[in-house]
Amino acid sequence: MHDPGYQESVRAQVTRWGELLDRAVQAVTDADDGIKLALAAAVVDSDVMDGTMNGFNRSPVKSPYPSLEEAGKAADMPKGRAAVAEWWRDLDPVTRGILLRERGNDLQAAGIMAPLYEWRPADAGSGAFDTEDPTAHDLWVLTQAQSIAAGGDVTGEVAASRNMQHYLSGTGEPLDLDVDRILHDDSGFRTDVGTLHITENQEAWRQKALDEFEKAGGDRTVVVPVESQAIGRTFGEDEWFHAVGSHQQNVSGMVTVSPGDGGKPQVSLDYQVNVWDRYNWDSGKSTTFPGGVTIPDDDMGRLHKVGFAQEFDMRGSSSTYTQDLNSGSAPGVTPADPGREGSRGDVSRGDEENR
């Protein structure tokens, strides 16, 4: 009882038992739901001309799902993007193929391609919010920051202006990033997506999906969720360097394998690009803004400490892009021109259903 290692092993085992019990109960629940669905289908009168009313279905169609459990799971989609993404990954590849065919657009809008990666800020930023008294110098820095936010509209750096304005608003609320716009503007970002995320993983993803296709009999569509490792990069295009700078990025989506002509399966990748960052300032550095104004990051960070501004999280996901994994062609992200509507005061600019 006094052995710390033993106590830790007991706690770990209890947690494991609890997880096993939860999974067992969920499996029974899903199977029970599948039975209910099967019985409901069986009591639908399939022939209104056979002289009976409200009779049983004498010609029931076999369920397309691999098991009653899968049928129940397919009918019990949870709420919330994170829960939907986990539910989607827990389904059988054949079940995913059936659901994607039946209600693919609704499922994508619900978040089946949302990443499972859990982003956390790399550091504490400037520290606690509104814990120090402002000085005359802080007021001068605030005036400069407000001028920079206003000037961004003139110089064309609308995103940088928008993010600075949100910082100065002091709400600390998370902000959506328009990843499609960043992909359009920043060629280095497009290259990162193509080489570091797609090319680096597509052969392994393709083979995994083909293995599931063969396991399912080679005659049914299967869908396999995929996600690349999140990596830290820095935007090179001026506007997005000033608006976001260094960030975490990855790709999440799914590989679909369907029976093709001549026995050759068709393999394709649908994916979205995801970006995360924290809008804050690094001690010991300085930033040069459009117009040649250079301000130490410590000064900008103090606006957070004295309550004149507040740091905030940023994240966003792109639209869905498709890559043919049969052709062997190099991946290429070609977003349409998103235009330049909105201004620094339009904080919701860039919000999309896919966020």
Render each residue's pLDDT in the chain as its tens digit; 355 residues: 778 788 788 788 888 888 788 777 777 666 666 666 666 666 665 555 555 556 665 556 667 888 878 888 888 888 888 899 999 999 999 999 999 999 999 999 999 999 999 999 988 888 899 999 999 999 999 998 898 888 776 677 889 889 999 999 999 999 999 999 999 999 999 999 999 999 999 999 999 999 999 999 999 999 999 999 999 999 998 889 989 999 999 999 999 999 988 779 999 999 999 999 999 987 888 777 766 778 888 999 999 999 999 999 999 999 999 999 987 777 777 777 776 554 434 444 344 333 3
Q: Decide if 3 is inside a domain.
A: yes
pLDDT at 353: 36
Question: Within this chain, do residues 190 and 296 fall inside the same structural domain, yes or no?
Answer: yes
Closest C-alpha to 85, from 272, 259, 300: 272
pLDDT at 280: 92
Q: Decide if 341 is inside a domain.
A: no
What is the C-alpha to C-alpha distance for residues 210 and 307, in angstroms, rounded to an integer?
Answer: 55
Q: Decide if 140 is inside a domain.
A: yes
Question: Within this chain, do residues 213 and 64 fall inside the same structural domain, yes or no?
Answer: no
Question: Within this chain, do residues 145 and 273 fall inside the same structural domain, yes or no?
Answer: yes
The CA-to-CA distance between both ends of the chain, in Å, stands at 50
Collect all residues with Cβ–Cβ distance below 8 Å to 255 and sequence separation of at least 6: 205, 206, 208, 209, 223, 224, 226, 267, 268, 269, 325
Question: Within this chain, do residues 68 and 167 fall inside the same structural domain, yes or no?
Answer: no
pLDDT at 350: 40
Last residue of a domain, one of 76, 93, 128: 76
Full domain range(s) for residue 56: 1-76
Q: Is 289 left (phi over 0), alpha (psi -120 to 50) or beta?
A: beta
Number of structural domains (the chain) is 2
Q: Decide if 307 is inside a domain.
A: yes
Question: Within this chain, do residues 8 and 152 fall inside the same structural domain, yes or no?
Answer: no
pLDDT at 180: 95
Q: What are the CB-based long-range contacts (under 8 Å, 24+) for 143-147? A: 144/293, 144/295, 145/295, 145/300, 145/303, 145/309, 147/293
Last residue of a domain, one of 28, 46, 76: 76
Question: Within this chain, do residues 144 and 245 fall inside the same structural domain, yes or no?
Answer: yes
CB 42 within 8 A of CB 67: no
Question: Within this chain, do residues 145 and 289 fall inside the same structural domain, yes or no?
Answer: yes
Scanning the chain, the segments in alpha helix (DSSP H) are 4-42, 68-75, 81-90, 93-110, 136-155, 158-169, 179-185, 187-192, 202-215, 238-243, 297-305
Question: Within this chain, do residues 149 and 251 fall inside the same structural domain, yes or no?
Answer: yes
Question: Within this chain, do residues 71 and 155 fall inside the same structural domain, yes or no?
Answer: no
Q: Decide if 339 is inside a domain.
A: no
Q: Decide if 249 is inside a domain.
A: yes
Question: Within this chain, do residues 157 and 305 fall inside the same structural domain, yes or no?
Answer: yes
Q: Which residues pair with 277 in a beta bridge?
A: 314
Q: Decide if 355 is inside a domain.
A: no
Question: Within this chain, do residues 62 and 161 fall inside the same structural domain, yes or no?
Answer: no
Q: Decide if 154 is inside a domain.
A: yes
Residue type for position 231: I
Question: Within this chain, do residues 163 and 18 fall inside the same structural domain, yes or no?
Answer: no
